[in-house]
Amino acid sequence: MSHSALLSRAPFGRILTAMVTPFDENGKVDYGLAADLASYLVDQGSDGIVVCGTTGESPTLTWQEQKKMLETVRNSLGSKAKVLAGTGSNSTSEAIEATKEAANLGADGALVVVPYYNKPPQEGLEIHFRSIANAAPELPLMLYNIPGRTGCSISPSIVSKLMDCSNVVSFKAASGTTDEVTQLRNYCGSDLAIYSGDDALILPMLAVGAVGVVSVASHIVGLHLKKMIESFFEGKYDQSLYFHETLQPLFKSLFATTNPIPVKAALQLIGWSVGPPRSPLVSLNSEMKEELLKTLSSMRLI
């Protein structure tokens, strides 16, 4: 398959940054800084921005804050990059309303996570996602499987059933295994664009058919990730492997504790005053921060 054909299979581009939500000194969302950060990330290689996902602390943002974050980033970027909104919920009706709202506000897509905590059976997951897809049929959807956070996992066979919804176009695979990509491709073929949900697994997932990544590390090393992915699709596998191996210490540091605690600390260290996470998350402890600083310094990122 040609490089151009491969590109056509990545509906949102190769690198999507799951953007943090900046807070000011009073704990309020800093929308001006969010606009600046989104533009910076695009300049650093991101093809798209995901607002109000896990990294954006969606559990502690109000719906009004989420709406304004989407409006802010959409207006800031214009046509420079894709903008996806995290619209998932463990309530189907809430997810439907959020997805419809994202469509009305001009999002290019919606990231819709598997329902968390209430652990629906597979039949319930099919109804949940089908209801969301049918409620906003013109808005492309990225289904999001992250069982480590949700306590629930959607099966590839159910995903294949959902492929009759024309707007189910992509999937964020964050189960921590490449086998998920293989199983999804076996069931859904190449019509489903699979994105790695794990920075450390980008290269292995590309090797088994993923088309890109929804990244946290791209806040810090967006251009490095861009080179790694481009090298892979250009057949320069040694160069791609070099970036994969070189970036592993940073990936490890950025997930040393719950995301987005470390990446917010890393952004602070490189000059972005994005504030601490909202409670019940806390700032990175001093020992981990020192290790993160060493990693950033050794990689000449600060």
Active site residues: 144, 172
Q: What is the spatial distance between Cα 197 and Cα 175, in angstroms, rounded to a whole number?
A: 8
Alpha-carbon gap, residue 299 to 220, rounded angstroms: 11
CB of 239 closer than 8 Å to CB of 231? yes
Alpha carbon 284 to chain centroid distance?
Answer: 21
User: Which residue, chain included where needed, has tokens 């290689």?
Assistant: 45
Q: How far apart are CA 98 and CA 110, in angstroms?
A: 9
| Cβ neighbours of residue 46 closer than 8 Å, sequence gap 6 or more | 13, 15, 16, 17, 81, 215, 218, 222
* Structure tokens, 36: 């600046």
18: helix, strand or coil: strand
User: Which residues 6+ apart lie within 8 Å of 34 measured at CB?
Assistant: 19, 21, 22, 51, 69, 72, 73, 76
